[in-house]
Amino acid sequence: MRHISFLSKELSAVWRPYNRMLKSVVIGALILAGIQASLQAQEYKYTKPTFWVGAAAGANFNFYRGSTQRLNSTFSSPVAFHNGNNVGLYLAPLLEYQSRSGVGVMLQAGYDSRKSTFEQQLTPCNCPADLSTNLSYITVEPSLRVAPFGSGFYLYGGPRFAFNLDKAFTYKLGINPAFPDQLPTPDVTGDLSDVKKTLLSMQVGAGYDIPLSSQDQQIQAMFSPFISFQPYFGQSPRSIETWNITTLRVGAALKFGSGRENPIPTPPATGIEVLPPFNDVRFSVISPPNIPTERRVRETFPLRNYVFFDSGSTAIPDRYVLLTKNQITGFKEDQLEEFAPKRLSGRSAREMTAYYNILNILGDRLGKNPASAITLVGSSEKGADAGRAMAESIKQYLTDVWSINNSRIGVEGRNKPLNPFLKPGGTQDIELLLEGDRRVSIETTSPELLMEFQTGADAGLKPVEIIAMQEAPLDSYVTFKVDGERKAFSPWRLEIKDESGKMQTFGPFTQGQIKIPGKSIMGTRPKGRYNVTMTGVTSNGSAVRKQAVVDMVQWTPPQNEEGLRFSIIYDFDESKAVNMYEKYLTTVIVPKIPTGATVIIQGHTDIVGDEAYNQRLSLSRANDVRAILEAGLRTAGRSDVKFEVHDMGEDTNTSPFENALPEERAYNRTVIIDIIPRK
């Protein structure tokens, strides 16, 4: 155990200079993984090869431990050398077999450099001495290969047979610094004695297969970055002394294989017919008869009463819009586009512009309602003083720029908010939750500042109204459903081809139903017929391929069509609408649903936590809102409204906002309600 602990510390110290190299390897692998996702969305015309041939190359990070002094029969150093490090070259052709079950074998045999340089020693004459060796071998490495997750990731391990090729050394004796004029001693070169001709050791490693070509080609290429560890067991290069070698190898392999042709089913002739089931999998496409490309939307956007702060700072972050005294005279809530933040990015720029103006909206409302008052409660993991300083920075802005009287703004400091996102015992995404708890809450009992029917510390502020054109509303999306995909395979992909042969790929997907905007598929085309192919791979490696033909039509709705949008914001990990939202839904929203309208309800979550759990949570939130709205309609004696419920989970392709900042994650914990009037 003592030796292993010592070796671990040594590896850590020596490895530090090579961090940049390893990061480059990892980044390159991730880029190629992105290429893989695109390429694998092509048709599976051929199976994945079982036999692969190619070549591997890498760097051996060699760590010398133990001692050596007698270099050969004619020369011994006056001092013993101990530890050393260096990097050697590894080059080898390879042969690999991959079975459908994920278990296989691999063989690499080639050139293996174990050269290194020992740490400098001081001789009795006070002269520095250096020793470097150029050990190299022909290595033969058979390994058992296991792909445990049905993906490109694999583990391998096995013996290593090494046959000595070179055993040269170079000994250099420096000059005593006290006698700089003395003549240098010639270097001693030669071959090490007592070098073992054959070594038997072991290795364990991991790699990732990244396809460089799609399975519509018979000859397929694969790029495989790998890393392996070869401990010192069996790696004492000489039959004398205690010198041993530990090696960490980082490299990549390029390999080629030939696939077998897959039978390709014939697509149905018309409509959205589904092919017969294969492995309990059914594939269907639902295309709306008319796909609106844009719709005028009057959106009631909630204002979350939080201002989030950056780590280690009590200053208001520069992503929030801060005005000067000269600018506030032209500030209007309905013209927020003129006051966009400096670093705004993401899919919902319009809504985030409203949120990032929260301090200006607050200052404007406080000025127009002189009897109103607020309390700013700052919370920071650095302590109550830091939380109070955060709150003071907001108070100073409101008093200096918006001329709000000091007495109307109370300030408090806490080490965590009353309703923290990070709950006791939490273990997942702790850093993201801490970012959400580093905030200033705007609390008030003044009804003119609050959202209807809301009270309490976490009550949202009165919402703002935004009027804009909504592109690709959810009811215009084309729906693709795969029933039974969890039993057979995961993930799955789509290939969509028009009459001219132009092809688009989408995916990979893991959920059983996905929606894609019609405009993303059709562009500016008014209509078209599309051949849609779903592809996946079963757990035993067999390709699943389903096809359907669907007609799509696109048109622009009448100019006077206007939809309504409302949002309900949930606290972290909550699925039940609190009483104040229930009254808001029944008293404010239900009366605004016109006769014969369609209500589309989308449940969303942030990215904190497990993806499958978030999918269920988003459905619970959406169904909760639907139940309240339906109950309100029944009370009003109405049954003329159609509902659609969608569980979006944490899907970043459809989430309202990005997830990089705590305010974006807070707004993604939402249910969006779109009210579409009857056409």
- Residues 48, 155 within the same domain: yes
- Give the total number of structural domains in the chain: 4
Q: What is the C-alpha to C-alpha distance for residues 184 and 172, in angstroms, rounded to an integer?
A: 10
Helix axes 358-368, 384-400, angle to 10 degrees: 60
- Residues 518, 547 within the same domain: yes
Compute the CA torsion angle 605, 609, 613, 617 (nearest 10 deg): -30
Q: Does residue 367 lie in a domain region?
A: yes
Q: What is the C-alpha to C-alpha distance for residues 22 and 24, in angstroms, rounded to an integer?
A: 5
Token pair belonging to 460:
């949202």
Q: Does residue 435 lie in a domain region?
A: yes
Q: Are the C-beta atoms of 665 and 607 separated by less than 8 Å?
A: yes
Q: Residue 102 — φ and ψ, nearest 5°?
A: 95, -5
- Residue 285 confidence (pLDDT): 66
Tell me the pairing of strands 291-292 and 543-555.
parallel
- Residues 514, 593 within the same domain: no
- Residue 279 confidence (pLDDT): 45
- Residue 239 confidence (pLDDT): 94
- Given a cut of 70, the residues of the chain with pLDDT beneath it are 1-45, 150, 262-296, 337-348, 426-427, 468-477, 480-490, 538-542, 554-561, 572-580, 679
* 550-579 tens-digit pLDDT: 877 765 554 556 778 898 888 766 656 555
Token pair belonging to 424:
């006791």
Q: Does residue 506 lie in a domain region?
A: yes
Strand partners, 545: 535
Q: What is the C-alpha to C-alpha distance for residues 507 and 188, in angstroms, rounded to an integer?
A: 63
- Residues 252, 109 within the same domain: yes
Q: Does residue 272 lie in a domain region?
A: no
123 Cβ contact partners less than 8 Å away, ≥ 6 residues apart: 77, 78, 79, 129, 173
- Residue 464 confidence (pLDDT): 86
- Residues 144, 248 within the same domain: yes
- Residue 208 confidence (pLDDT): 93
- Residue 72 confidence (pLDDT): 94
- Residues 35, 87 within the same domain: yes
Boundaries of domain holding 49: 2-66+77-115+135-163+194-258
Q: Residue 487 — φ and ψ, nearest 5°?
A: -75, -35
- Residues 416, 329 within the same domain: yes
Which H helix or E strand runs over 364? helix 358-368
- Residues 571, 551 within the same domain: no
- Residue 608 confidence (pLDDT): 87
Q: Is 234 exposed, middle or buried (0-12, 13-18, 19+ CB in 10 A)?
A: middle
How many C-beta neighbours within 10 Å does residue 220 have?
Answer: 22
Q: What is the C-alpha to C-alpha distance for residues 184 and 174, in angstroms, rounded to an integer?
A: 7
DSSP, collapsed to helix, strand or coil, labels residue 420 as coil
Q: What is the C-alpha to C-alpha distance for residues 474 and 489, in angstroms, rounded to an integer?
A: 27
